[in-house]
Amino acid sequence: MSAHRESHPARLRAARPAVSFATVSASAYWFAALGVYVLFGFLWYFSAKEKLFDQSGSMPAGLAKAFDGSFLASVPGLDAAWLILGLVEAVALLLFLASLAAGEFLPSRRKPVLVSALGFSVAVFAVMAFAENMIGDFESTFRLFAYATGTLVVGAAVVAATPERVRAWITSFDARGGA
């Protein structure tokens, strides 16, 4: 008889999970937000730092050889192109830092600077892919195309994550009884 009582459907429905789905959903939001800022922030930080400080705006010899005779060799010049790329990457980093400073990582905030930073990142990847394509480095071109595509997917997720949607997404799990 006691075995029958323990498996009764009404008793099974009444059991609540140890961790609420709202907590799990909120955690998912925070981990995703952290991932976006860490991934793009450090990508642009190390890229800009390498070009502007570690290499003092001078294109490495191997790349200079690959781009020798290309359009970039004459306009604006290889070292100038390398320096400009480093500056553009620094601008991308500054956009992500501005988004952080504006508190756009908070679920209750709209994210116009973050969306702009992601769009700018796509443009930077496209410029780099153009340069790689120009010298026939199709493997690097494809890799940069994949980076740009991944950035567009992240951008679409950020655009979809309006404060109203995030709030509804996080709270909807408890409103449905933990389902």
CA–CA gap between residue 131 and residue 100 (Å, rounded): 31
Distance CA 75, CA 51 (A): 19
CA distances in angstroms from 86 to 58, 67, 107, 143, listed in the order given:
10, 17, 32, 19
CA distance to 61, 79, 125, 139, per residue, from 68 (Å): 10, 11, 21, 19
pLDDT tens per residue across span 99-130: 999 999 998 899 999 999 999 999 999 999 99
| Crossing angle (nearest 10°) for helices 138-160 and 21-49 | 140
pLDDT digits (tens, 9 = 90+) for 56-101: 999 999 999 999 999 999 999 999 999 999 999 999 999 999 999 9
